[in-house]
A and B are shown apart, each in its own frame.
Chain A
């Protein structure tokens, strides 16, 4: 009995030790996985003692997690809509929000897929897109398809993915003919997948990444410092290296 009590206390003690002040929770769009990991690694190297916990997913899904109380100090969305959504819920520190990167929508697939421009996709059988209900990449895609007047023709061919990286995975495995993803995602896929065409910018609003502190994060010095670091020349260099545009 006594032993059990000691063991119990020891476990409680261990858990208590696990929570340290310098932990920063980041919720970031799936397309930012590599670049945000690189940025947080860089920052952590310079500021030992800061530990980042990065959570990636569809921006809408992340916004909903944060709304439901998921721990997050920083939120990086792949469109303005979900950042504004959290602002509207008073969960984001308004003053902290700024746009730190831009991206480009492309159509990716195996080299033997015959699609050289947007209009060609009506001939394909299965196309992966992010779910437009919560995945920004899918929202940009639907916007482009609607403006190009192709929406109805491809409707029943669209495989809805929970984030942009799942789209890419399907294309890489060859289970779909192609996928609408961001230019920056392509460098990650296997050799088989390449950019078949870039979606003309006039069809969709520019892919914009806002960053912001959550109300909880605004009180954390490390989170504030990281957001400041994101504006630095060094951070911009990392973003450019990963293929993002910064202006």
Chain B
């Protein structure tokens, strides 16, 4: 199909793998942050809010660069935590996952928060009054009632992750077959005078995946509504 090279196929596979992994890893953290922001009043709440949402407004390149400084060979985490443990992150697909997770995280949290804020607060209080522990309340009241937001946030983050370029190119580099995702492959083809056909073919793949994701999102939304 389209005359893709093995490197192009692995770019498509890698994009999906990186984005799915980043989304799954972020799910528990996203839920925890959304829960704290919605139901708890604590010091530094505004600070957390700003920190979580910052990647939404910061240029992804800035995030990538800061991550590189932090996790790279000379960075504080890279030098004193990762290297002694023998972990190499920069220029591996794991770095792409981290970059994608950071960039997409606010989207996930926002969706979840909106859903949680829509839950009738009395339901939460009643469950506590009836003797449910905090964890029981979360699992039996909050999660079921905010499941649409959780799914919507995850899908949104996944879709955003597929397009992640700025932060990824800095921390994961551009290694065909190893860290080269669809946007990076397109970028490489786009700057090559003879790459237009291939760039467009990969664009077509991107469009197909994005449309599929949106349909899935829509379909899930409807299904959940019916279930309710």
Contact = CB atoms under 8 A, between A and B. Distances in A.
The answer on A and B forming one complex is: yes
Contacts of A156: 175, 177-178
Interface size bucket, B side? Answer: 20 to 34
B72 A175 contact: yes
A70 B173 CA distance: 27
Nearest to B91: A126
A110 B13 CA distance: 34
A200 interface: no
Given A58-B191, A60-B192, A64-B193, A131 B174 contact: yes
Nearest to A64: B193
Contact of B72 (A159, A160, A161, A173): A173
Contacts of B68: 175
A176 B90 CA distance: 9
Given A64-B193, A156-B177, A133 B74 contact: no
Contacts of A60: 191-193
A99 interface: no
Contacts of A162: 191
Contacts of B180: 160
Interface string A67-83: 10000000000000010
Given A173-B73, A175-B90, A134 B191 contact: yes
Contacts of B191: 58, 60-61, 64, 131, 133-134, 162
A174 interface: yes
Given A173-B73, A173-B74, A158 B175 contact: yes
B21 to A, nearest CB: 19
A203 to B, nearest CB: 21
Contacts of B88: 125
A160 B188 contact: yes
Contacts of A82: 193
Nearest to B72: A175
Contacts of A64: 190-193
B59 interface: no
Contacts of B188: 131, 133-134, 160
Contacts of B195: 133-134
Given A126-B91, A173-B74, A175-B90, A133 B192 contact: yes
B201 to A, nearest CB: 14
B31 interface: no
Contacts of A155: 176-177
Interface string B11-34: 000000000000000000000000
A76 B214 CA distance: 46
B35 interface: no
**Highest count of chain B CB atoms <10 Å: which of A82, A134, A160:** A160
Interface string A169-181: 0100111100000
Interface string A131-167: 1011000000000000000000001111111100000
Nearest to B190: A64
A229 interface: no
A120 B74 CA distance: 25
Given A126-B91, A133-B195, 10 more contacts: A60-B192, A85-B193, A131-B188, A131-B192, A133-B189, A158-B176, A159-B91, A159-B173, A160-B174, A160-B175
23 contacts: A58-B191, A63-B193, A64-B191, A64-B192, A85-B194, A125-B88, A131-B174, A131-B191, A131-B192, A133-B191, A133-B192, A134-B188, A134-B191, A156-B177, A159-B173, A159-B174, A160-B175, A160-B180, A170-B173, A174-B72, A175-B72, A175-B90, A175-B173
Interface of A: 58, 60-61, 63-64, 67, 82, 85, 125-126, 131, 133-134, 155-162, 170, 173-176
